[in-house]
């Protein structure tokens, strides 16, 4: 297999322009991600992710409330005093919620590989149930799939469980 060429990203940090080379992850590298400390996003994408995370933490009462409203579509309310958003306290949260969504801050990958997330609340589903949900969105007769949940020290969003789902057409 031919080695992927570095992709050069041109971006601005403060008032300085930087260039950063980052080799997009291959299918073989994705297979080892849950076990390895490896950079997964270009510097530009990582900065965008961190900036968005900080903004969200300022705008919302908690990351859990943000994730429940944003990922599962539950209603939100805004505090008149603080202007922060929160999960509507009058909503009855379903016993189990599962959503398959594109990762807005996906890892830098070789062409043809998709990065999605399977969000689960209130807990991580069994392997059998995860595979069932993945089969609905990425049928195994059409797609190759790699999925895993990050180890705790690599989890930046611990409040609502999710697994990373990488897929490519067969």
The domain segmentation of the chain, as residue ranges, is 7-169
Radius of gyration of the chain (CA): 18
- Return the closest-CA partner of residue 88 out of 96, 97, 79: 79
pLDDT at 151: 74
For 118, 138, 142, the CA distances from 131, given in Å and listed in that order, are 11, 10, 15
pLDDT at 17: 40
- Return the closest-CA partner of residue 71 out of 158, 134, 160, 167: 160
pLDDT at 38: 65
- Return the closest-CA partner of residue 35 out of 148, 116, 164: 148
> Residue 143 in contact with residue 58, Cβ under 8 Å?
no
Copy the structure tokens of residue 162. 């999710």
Residue ranges in the chain whose pLDDT is less than 50: 1-20
pLDDT at 37: 62
pLDDT at 8: 36
pTM summary value: 0.81
pLDDT at 21: 56
Copy the structure tokens of residue 127. 């392997």
> Residue 101 in contact with residue 162, Cβ under 8 Å?
no
């Amino acid at each position: 297999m031919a080695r992927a060429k570095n992709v050069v990203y041109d971006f601005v940090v403060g008032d300085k322009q930087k260039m950063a080379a980052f080799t997009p992850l291959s299918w073989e590298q994705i297979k080892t991600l849950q076990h390895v400390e490896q950079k997964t996003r270009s510097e530009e994408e990582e900065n965008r992710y961190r900036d968005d995370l900080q903004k969200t933490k300022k705008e919302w009462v908690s990351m859990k409330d943000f994730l429940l409203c944003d990922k599962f579509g539950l209603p939100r309310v805004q505090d008149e005093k603080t202007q922060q958003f929160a999960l509507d306290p009058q909503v009855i949260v379903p016993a189990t919620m599962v959503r398959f969504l594109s990762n807005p801050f996906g890892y830098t990958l070789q062409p043809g590989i998709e990065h999605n997330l399977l969000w689960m609340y209130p807990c991580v589903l069994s392997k059998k149930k995860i595979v069932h949900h993945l089969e609905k969105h990425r049928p195994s007769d059409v797609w190759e799939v790699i999925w895993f949940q990050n180890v705790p020290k690599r989890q930046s969003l611990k409040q609502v469980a999710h697994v990373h789902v990488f897929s490519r057409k067969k």
